[in-house]
Structure 1
């Protein structure tokens, strides 16, 4: 049995069978401790979201296992909440009702109606959405919708919060505000968080460790970078911090030197690259 809070042990994932089989992930191993903030970064198609979906129990692994707090993960459960890039709120329910849906389902046997009500209000207060309890998703901004999605996920009191590019669809200013909110919430309730991101600055700002994935197919963990910066972190102060900038450079070097994406050649470029074309050009 794993001694770590969350253990991803030898996880591989293959889609399809026979000659159509495609191995997306191969032998992914990662141990995560309670209260850690882990970012997974890599180029498109490297299996980041596949890892997240396997931990969430939304997708079975082909090999290996995920162990959370001593129990194997083999299905979705309230101990793992997911926040997607798309807020996924139910449009016909109010802000309060969207969060209530998760709270009532998770705690109907363990909390009274009054306790559940108080917890819904507290969860929305954490993301500064108390003023919009009776609004429907169509009546609030994209950033507000994502705040409600985060409140709903946190309201389930999950052992692990899974964030799949949660700020990717937001403008830069809204994204910065939400990143700050997540940092603050994590420091208050000591959540264990795994976040998928394409944003290097976001990964360095928020994470305790950054997991860098190799390119697919057969993607795996290439490097893991420890982020030794004191918390709480201030993005303005970090802009000139040599340590912060060294971490940025290390991630960028991995992504754009060690794991540089090679774009397929066009027909014209292939013709230019052929030995015959080179000889003709030299004549």
Structure 2
């Protein structure tokens, strides 16, 4: 097998608050290969967001190493794009301008105005948002805002796309539509994706592997489930697929087994 694109090697993360040290992640190791889609799931307080933020370069490790293309991650970089639950769009800019901002940041010194324009439209087309390119965030729905957030992240052509519960604040129907969009994008551009979610069906539907975290403090990777349901996936079909059902059963069983473990109030999500 080829070398992993992303490698977390014996990661420990401690946080200090008012002189009190909280041990968040305890000896976490994980390898992710190019083009893989991983879902990370666990109860609140298990360090899922901390793990994602380590990869994003937003949280330093206390011990261990986080490597991307065999180079240590030492801060944020355009090769790792993050989409949060909050879309974080600039409200005074149009949809087009929000995506163009990321394009210009990365390619402004290398491409002419037409190339920047075409690149911006291309990423809006990927998420089917060209029709709303002249609208501002306050004029579009929550699901449409998340589409724009994904387009802006993809415009950076990242090696790893990090999704931090990107559909958590959306209604069920909008959430399903965006899940389908993400599946289509993954099939088309074969991006490497790490996604945090609390939704078991979502985790299994989208991922090649589901990483299950134990409860904090000192959270670890408890189990990893391989999702062997063939792609492309149709939600109406896979819900009846026995491999899908078995993966879902294993994850629910794991979460139920960890349902009553104590979680400190200071533990990050």
Question: Which TM-score tier does this pair reach, normalised by the shorter chain?
Answer: over 0.9
83-92 or 65-74: which moved more?
65-74
Q: 1:173 to 1:216 in 2, by over 3 A?
A: same
Please tell me whether residue 237 in structure 1 is matched to residue 256 in structure 2: no
Structure 2 distance, partners of 1:140, 1:89, is 12
- Equivalent residue, structure 2, for 1:176: 176
Structure 1 residue 115, shift from structure 2 partner: 1.1
* Equivalence for 1:82: 82
- Report what 1:273 is aligned to: none
Offset of residue 216 of structure 1? 0.2
TM, length-normalised to structure 1: 0.90
Instruction: Report the equivalent of 1:213.
Output: 213
Superposed displacement of residue 19, structure 1: 6.1
Paired residue secondary structure (1:218): coil
Distance 1:5 1:263, change over 3 A: closer
The equivalent of 2:260 in structure 1 is 261
| Cα deviation, residue 261, structure 1 | 2.3
SS at match of 1:78: coil
Structure with bigger gyration radius: 1
Q: Secondary structure at the match of 1:16?
A: strand
Shift >4 Å, 4+ stretches:
none
Equivalent in the alignment of 1:29: 29
Distance 1:156 1:192 in 2: 13
Once residues 243 and 180 of structure 1 are traced to their aligned partners in structure 2, the CA distance between those partners, rounded to angstroms, is: 19
Within a 5 Å distance, the mapping from 1:87-106 to structure 2 comes to: 87-106=87-106
8 Å CA contact retained: 2:39, 2:211: yes
- Greater fraction helix: 1
1:201 matched residue in structure 2: 201
Deviations 1:153-183 (A, max 9, x none): 0010000000000000000000000000000
Q: Distance in 2 between matches of 1:168 and 1:18?
A: 31
> Which fold has the larger relative contact order, with Cα–Cα distance below 8 Å and residues 6 or more apart in sequence?
2
Distance between the aligned counterparts of 1:61 and 1:8, measured in 2?
Answer: 10
Q: Which runs of 5+ in 2 are unaligned?
A: 264-269
Q: Aligned Cα RMSD in Å? A: 1.5
Structure 1 residues without counterparts, runs of 5 or longer? 265-283
- Please show how residues 3-152 of structure 1 align to structure 2 within 5 Å: 3-16=3-16, 20-152=20-152
